[in-house]
Structure formats: C-alpha cells, structure tokens
Amino acid sequence: MRLLFVHADEMSFEAQRPALKAPPPLSPGEEKGSAAEVLVVFYTVEARDVEDAGSVVAQAVENIQDVLRQVHAREVLLYPYAHLSNQLAPPDRAKELGDRLREKVRSSLSVPVRWAPFGYYKSFVLRAKGHPLAELSRAIGPGSSLPATPGGPSPPKTSAPPTESQALANEKKLVSHWYVLTPEGELTEAERYDFSQDPDFQAFYRYEAQGSRSAAEEPPHVRMMREMELVDYEPGADAGNFRWYPKGYLMKRLLEEHASNLIQAAGGMRVETPIMYDFEHPALKKYLDRFPARQYILRSEDKEYFLRFAACFGQYLIFHDMVMSRKDLPVRLYELARFAFRREQTGELSGLRRLRTFTMPDMHTVVADLEQAKAEFLAQFRASQTWMADLEIPYHAAVRFVREFYDAHADFAKTLARTLGKPLLVEMWDERFFYFVMKFEFHPLDTQGRAAALSTVQIDVENCERFGIQYTDSDGQRKTPLLLHASIPGAIERNVYALLETEARRMARGEKGKFPFWLAPTQIRILPVSDAYVDAALELAERLEAEAGARVDVDDREEGIGRKIRDAELEWVPLVLVYGEKEKGSPHLSVRRRDGTRAQMSLEELVREVRESQGTHPRAPLPLPRRIRLRPVFRG
RNA sequence: GCCACUGUAGCUCAGUUGGCAGAGCGGCUGAUUCGUAAUCAGCAGGUCGGGGGUUCAAGUCCCUCCAGUGGCUCCA
C-alpha cells in the first residue's frame, strides 16, 4: 500500500462519474464532502497487499496515528487514490481492504474520520499547509514498512526537481552509524553498548542519534541570565541578537581573552578579517553554493554583500596570498570573530544556545599531510580539554568519521579515546558528503537533556583546492595542503549558556550555583555591619584589590547583615567578608565561603587563597561601582 | 519557515459567565544602625505585546502582526 499524507487547511471533493464498470453504490451524502484542518490520507492498494491484508491495514493505521501525532490535525480524510502505484490490486479486493482500513481507523483514532468514495472519478480542491511535515509519503507491504519520506512526496513515476542546494540534498541521504569507543580501544555498536554506568552519556547518544522529546519549558539559563543581569534579549534588534549588561559583558570579555590566550599559546597567529563579503567573488560563490542559504544579505548602492557566517573566508583569502613553504607548516591563523552571522530560522533560535549573531574564536591550520593533520588535531583536542576544564563544565565527546578514513586511521581514534579518558561517541558515514573527513565536538548536556557543541575541530580536504591555497614542498614542487578548522571554545555566548545550564543542573540536585572564580563578576564582597564601618570596608577593599588582584565590592546599603548575606548568595559571590567591631582592631578577617563554611584568616592568608583560585586566568576590573548603593538596576 | 503554547507594573505572577487594573519583589521617602540567606511603614509605578474588529461595554471574544518557548526542520 502506498500512502500520501497532506496536512491541509481545507479539502473538499465531489464524485463525478464511475471509474469502474460496476462501481460500488454510493450511500446518501457519500458523493461529496469537505473538511478543514485535516490530515488527508491518499492511499493506493497494491497487488501484493492482498497477501496479508491484516498486516497492511495494521501498519497503515499505525502510520496514520504516527503522522497525526506530529501534525495535530483536527480530522482525517481517507481518499482512495489509484495513482500512487502502477501495481494496483483488483478493484474488488482494493475496495474490501479500503473498507477494513476505514473501520480500523475510525475505531482507533480520537478525531473524526471522513472518507471519499471508491470507484469514482472525483474532483477535489486541496490547500496544503506547506510545513516540513505537511506532506509525507509512506510505502507499506505485507512484510515490513518503509521509512517515511519527509519534505514532499516522491511518487514512483516522478522525481523531485533539484530546487535546493546540493549540500542540503546530500544531507538528506546521509546515513549515520553510531558506535562507542572506550579508552581501552574497544569499538561497540551504540545500540549494544552498556550505558548503565553513565546515564548522561546515554542521554547524549540518544539526543545526537534521535533528537529529544523533552517537556516544553523555558531553558533555565534564560531566566538566570536575566535575573543576574548578565545578558538580555534586545527587542529593538533582529531576533537572536542580545544586549550584554556590565556583569555579563565582563564574563564574556574574560572568556574571549582566555580563549585568545590559549589559542595564541597553541601557535595561533591572531588576525582580523572583514565581516562582509562580495556575493560575486568567484571563490566565495562556489563556497556558498556548498551550503544552505542562511546569510544576512546587505544591499548597498547596487551591490550585494553577505555577512560572514564564520571567519573561514577571510582566512582562506589570506592563506591564498601567503607564501608558505614546507618548513613553515603547520601555519595557524586565529581570529576572534566578532561577530559571525547566521540567519537561523526563527524556530531554531533558543536563548544563548542558538543565536543569529555570535562570537566565534576561529582558528585555521594549514598542514602538509595527514600525519601533520593528525598531530595538530590531537594537540587541538588537548587544548579543548584544557578549555573545558578551566570552565569547569562536564561534557561528552563525539567524534565523526567518514568510514573509509576511520578504517585507515583506527589507531588515531583510539588515541583520542585514550586521551579523553572516557568513552567517546563515534558517528560514521559511509560516504563523504561534507568537506571534512573527520571532526570532534565536546558537548555539555543542559537541564533538558539536550546537547550543544562547544569545542570542535575538523580535518578539511576540500577547501585548500577550492581557494587555491598552496605551499612549496622541499622538492620545490607547489602542493595543496590540508586544512584544520578549529573553534577551541566554540561560540562564546554558548559557553555562557553552558556555564548557566551546568549550574542549573547542579542546583536541581540541591547544590549551590557558582561561577569559576576567575569569572565571578564580584569575587570578594565586604559587608560592613553598619554605616560606621563603611569607610574601613572601602579601605580594605582597595587593599585587597591591590594585593590580590581581585574584584572587590562593598555592600554599603542600610540593610541588616542577614539581608546583605542573602543578596551576596543570590549573586553567587564566592567570598564574603563581614566587617564590624570585631574585625576593626583585629588581624583576622571573617570569611564566608560559597560552600557555607566560615574561617578566620589574616589578610595575607586570604590574598594567598585568592591568588590560588585565580591562577593564571585573565583579570579585569570590577564592572560596576564598588559601592553597591551607587548601582542602578538593569533589570528587576 | 511550519505546528502548538505563552505575552497584564522594571521583575514574578493573579484577574470569575465580557462590567471600576491587583499582589509580592524591586524603586522612592521616612524610621531603624543591625553579626552570617529577606527590619518596619508610607508613596509612586499600567498603551493589559502592536494594529484592526465584534459589543452599550474587551485584559477577557474574533482577525492580523510582533516577540518568547517547545516540537519539526536546521545547526557551515
């Protein structure tokens, strides 16, 4: 049986004249009908269906239920439609099977079911909704059912015209195979892997392989980022563009600086390239053709430009003009791309997880050959581990391969698993559809069990050729190198999302939220017990700032000490100092740590502890007035 | 982009069958000068997301647009 589903605003039909010599009689009112918000099910009964009509009907009902669940139509219209197949069942058998289908559908669906008569030529008017699931076709046989074909029907007699880019079309054909690779080097099919030791890892696999089915609720990081006055939506801009308040912008700057330091330490030479490019540039044109059109378009006078969706172009164009010899390689260019622009579909946007304008630390590395590519890939894998550790974000790793490449470099995959020290999720594709042969990503899990890629590195085997990037080998020959794409941290905004979601998960377990010490907007807050101690507290703050290099503020409001403690807790201030009569003449400070413990320590001891927590991470001054009384409210 | 849900004070939310726009927090003013998660009192604060319609009367019903979230699609 062939099924064609159309989710329609409305559908009406009318029987015109018999299509068979002896058509079944029409019952009154059966000759015409109409329906609105309807799932129209065109079906064709095929010759082989009669072998096991029961199974075919059961499968058809299951398919209808499945589609109905996804599109939420208000009713169902069954429409016998002979044109979906050229191997029709005899009319009497088809009619009989159709009747069985109708009865089964009526008894098992919660929505009203209508049907069009069998054996007549009918006219119909149909207005389809046009969303991705509005049109689906399925084929069912007495044995097993074939998978659904989304995105429009592909009836046997016709083929869809190539209306989309090659890349998009290719992705649809992409078949993934999933495995788990352990640090010991054992590769197991994911479905047969024992996940019982790590349910989070299993959730990660399920999300990657199947997508999520989570309950509808706002992600916690959105509430947190606004309540803590870090970041907010900007209604005056396009969707997916954000405003950063002083505290959030401080964190963003620190993350950017840390990322740049880490990448430059790994050999990245920092550059800056334009954010907009000429649509008609020949090399870019070919490149754009490889991707779905999701750019912001900029019209200026009579020319069109697009805003970059990554820092790739700028760096390709630099590499193209460079003179590189074998001994120079690997050559690494790095840009803190502020910003990359992607006009994602509105429904794909989600808080700081998916934006239209974002900050991407982007490094490209030109390498001579595969050996060098692997060595660099491993080094960048390690740098990414360092990044994630510095942010104190737990994560899972996915490594994706073209199968042929995996088979030739299985030892390298094992090296990665060993380096990670825990099992890796491995995805393999039978063919290479993308420009890369392998990549990895690090994914934190959010509160709703969704994954989002942060660190990622890819080995690109295509773009050096496309952009004419070459080097001179030791034998004097001009050669085309390989290229690595790397975003060691991933998008900076997404790192903030990951920090907040990680803490939301901890808080859901009853723990306290916290930021890594080096990112906390206020690192130390001094609470004078009353107005009389404010001056002394301010003096102490200045001293601490000078000696420990920390961000120190003073809660000089006319509030009780309990209230000040509470507010410091809600702001996740890591160290709180109560300052009153007891401390005034004493060599000891009263320190309250984020974990609730309290300690008496000297200034020197405190300075030592702060320096240790801060490590070598970047510093920046307090983003707001030191005296809390002088701070405006950015958001209630 | 499609489907669903949501949008009321700066924030979080209540608002009955259509009938005078509400609370808590935050802000301001005053009192209080306090020892480890919320001191007390008073005051101000509204284009009920925007526009259109139905009605004697719309936060409430209808249409439309915008935004947010979830799912689908997508994620260079």
SS3 content of chain A, % helix, strand, coil (to 5): 35, 30, 35
Q: How many residues does chain A have?
A: 636
**Tokens read off for A442:** 């690090």
Tell me the pLDDT of chain A averaged across its residues.
Answer: 87
**Between the CA of A36 and the C1' of B57, what is the distance in angstroms?**
34
Answer whether A68's CB lies under 8 Å from A76's CB: yes
The answer to whether the Cα torsion of A29, A34, A39, A44 is positive or negative is positive
Q: Which of A549, A367, A356 is nearest to A471 (CA)?
A: A367
Q: What is the pLDDT of residues A396-413, one digit of tens each?
A: 999 999 999 999 999 999
Asked if domains A2-142 and A517-630 share a fold, the reply is: no
Q: What is the pLDDT of residue A165?
A: 42
At the topology level, CATH places domain A2-142 in D-tyrosyl-trna(Tyr) Deacylase; Chain: A; (3.50.80)
**Between the CA of A635 and the C1' of B9, what is the distance in angstroms?**
13
Is 3.40.50.2300 the CATH number for A197-339+349-500? no
Q: Note the pTM of the prediction, 2 decimals.
A: 0.78
Question: What span, in angstroms and rounded, lies between the C-alpha atoms of A283 and A205?
Answer: 37
A423: helix, strand or coil: coil
Q: What is the pLDDT of residue A214?
A: 56
Which nucleotide C1' is nearest A74 CA?
B3
**Between the CA of A347 and the C1' of B7, what is the distance in angstroms?**
17
With vertex at residue A287, the alpha carbon angle to CA A285 and CA A289, rounded to the nearest 5 degrees, is 70
Question: What span, in angstroms and rounded, lies between the C-alpha atoms of A378 and A372?
Answer: 10
Q: What is the pLDDT of residue A167?
A: 46
Which nucleotide C1' is nearest A584 CA?
B35
Question: What span, in angstroms and rounded, lies between the C-alpha atoms of A523 and A618?
Answer: 13
**Between the CA of A629 and the C1' of B50, what is the distance in angstroms?**
37
**Which nucleotides of strand B lie within 7 A of protein CB?**
1-4, 10-12, 25-27, 31-39, 66-76
**Between the CA of A150 and the C1' of B73, what is the distance in angstroms?**
10
Q: What is the pLDDT of residue A146?
A: 36
Closest residue by C-alpha to C1' distance, nucleotide B25: A636
For A212-235, letters b (16+ CB in 10 Å) and e give: eeeeeeebbbbebbbebbbbbeee
Q: What is the pLDDT of residue A147?
A: 34
Which nucleotide C1' is nearest A168 CA?
B74
Answer whether A98's CB lies under 8 Å from A3's CB: no
Give the ipTM of the model, two decimals please: 0.91
Q: What is the pLDDT of residue A289?
A: 63
Which nucleotide C1' is nearest A636 CA?
B11
Residue ranges of chain A whose pLDDT lies below 50: 144-170, 172
Q: What is the pLDDT of residue A5?
A: 84
Give A193's DSSP letter: S
Question: In chain A, where are the structural domains located?
Answer: 2-142, 197-339+349-500, 517-630
Question: What span, in angstroms and rounded, lies between the C-alpha atoms of A60 and A49?
Answer: 11
**Between the CA of A119 and the C1' of B42, what is the distance in angstroms?**
82
Q: What is the pLDDT of residues A591-625, one digit of tens each?
A: 999 988 999 999 999 999 999 999 999 999 999 99
Which nucleotide C1' is nearest A534 CA?
B33
Answer whether A111's CB lies under 8 Å from A76's CB: yes
**Between the CA of A537 and the C1' of B29, what is the distance in angstroms?**
27
Strands of the sheet with A187-189, listed across from one edge? A187-189, A176-181, A424-429, A396-402, A436-443, A456-460, A482-487, A357-367, A331-341, A269-270
Q: Which of A442, A573, A454, A568 is nearest to A515 (CA)?
A: A573
Q: Which CATH architecture has domain A517-630?
A: 3-Layer(aba) Sandwich (3.40)
User: Residue A16: enclosing H or E segment and its boundaries?
Assistant: strand A2-18
In SS3 terms, A77-100 reads as EEEECHHHCCCECCHHHHHHHHHH
Q: What is the pLDDT of residue A299?
A: 82
Which nucleotide C1' is nearest A171 CA?
B74
Question: What span, in angstroms and rounded, lies between the C-alpha atoms of A526 and A537?
Answer: 6
Radius of gyration over alpha carbons of chain A, in Å? Answer: 31
**Between the CA of A563 and the C1' of B29, what is the distance in angstroms?**
20
